[in-house]
Amino acid sequence: MKKDVLTLWDLEPEDVMQLIERSMVFKKSNSADVQYRPLQGKTLGIIFDKPSTRTRVSFEVAMIQLGGGVTFLSAKDTQMTRDEPIIDTARVLSGYLDGIVVRTYSQELVEKLALNSSIPVINGLTDMYHPCQVLSDLQTILEKKGKLTGLKIAWVGDGNNVAHSWINATAILGLHIVLATPEGYEPNQDILRKAIDHGKGTISVLSDPFEAVQDADVIYTDVWASMGQEKEHGTRKRIFQPYQVNDNLVDRAKKDAIVMHCLPAHRGEEISNEVLEGPRSVIWDQAENKLYMHKAILERLMVDSD
């Protein structure tokens, strides 16, 4: 049966760990391993309704390096914007493609697409989640810290899509996360409740960024205004100012704490240039790992779905 990755809840803890292991193997072998072409003859559709640099390019390169082909569709150029029902789009694309990565606003749309497709559907970011991002982030933490459990992860900033996927990962793997967000910008309550009710890991939400990063092993931030929230940028810039990840904040964390950001970053807003380029930043390795994790995901979903 085909498998989708729409949220991290689609994966068991063993699945997550296996994906990380495979991703690390891909990283070691790199693209030099031209013999391994498990997706030869297969085509991945990438349908994006929001901009992307990393996710699009890393999925494309991952697919090509695994021997497959890619077709990219800007959602606005498809008949979906002329009200073709998603159920019809899903059926038709299932006849051409072997898998789909989709980036759009509505999580519901991605779920409908998956429900009506006979091929794997991968969530490449919605307003609610960014599961593939957090999978490669977990790999980065494991590489840098040698473990995932027993660490304090501090999320500083907006309770957004990436934060939601972090909350899911915390519950699934039994991690420890403290999120500091301004009042009114907390993570979605249903997502929080489901994760807390799962009973694994510890999740707390507070408003003081200094308290959140106290003795943290990992500090993670993301943009203050996500894609689709551009009009709120000015207001958010004022409200989120105390949440900037700068040297003053990072000094409260453990001496060997690492700083992460999914990118794109706005230097001088959610993160200072000094921290982004500083010795604790693992952000560039983090971005690179997306390629290897996307290979692991494509291999898992598209080779095993035969």
Residues 116, 60 contacting (CB under 8 angstroms): no
The 41-80 contact track toward ligand CP, x by CB under 6 A, reads -----------xxxxx------------------------
CB of 170 to ligand NVA, least distance (A): 17
CB closer to ligand CP, 51 vs 234: 51
CB of 205 to ligand NVA, least distance (A): 17
| Minimal CB distance residue for ligand CP | 55
**Looking at 133, 165, 170, 244, which residue binds ligand CP (CB under 6 A)?**
133
Q: Decide if residue 262 touches ligand CP (CB under 6 A).
A: yes
Single-letter amino acid code for the residue at 1: M
CA 171 to chain centre: 16
**For tokens 């390019």, what's the residue?**
57
Crossing angle (nearest 10°) for helices 161-173 and 131-145? 60
| Residue 222 contact, options ligand NVA, ligand CP, none, Cβ 5-8 Å cut-off depending on partner type | ligand NVA
CB of 290 to ligand CP, least distance (A): 7
Cα–Cα–Cα angle for 280, 141, 196, nearest 5°?
120
C-alpha–C-alpha distance, residues 305 and 181, integer Å: 40
CB of 301 to ligand NVA, least distance (A): 21
C-alpha–C-alpha distance, residues 58 and 63, integer Å: 8
CB closer to ligand NVA, 69 vs 228: 228
C-alpha–C-alpha distance, residues 195 and 208, integer Å: 22
CB of 236 to ligand NVA, least distance (A): 12
CB closer to ligand NVA, 68 vs 182: 182
Residues 249, 210 contacting (CB under 8 angstroms): yes
Residues 159, 185 contacting (CB under 8 angstroms): yes
| Residue 223 contact, options ligand NVA, ligand CP, none, Cβ 5-8 Å cut-off depending on partner type | ligand NVA
H or E segment at 70? Answer: strand 69-74
Q: Decide if residue 244 touches ligand CP (CB under 6 A).
A: no
Q: List interacting residues with ligand NVA (CB under 6 A).
A: 125, 160-162, 222-223, 226-227, 262
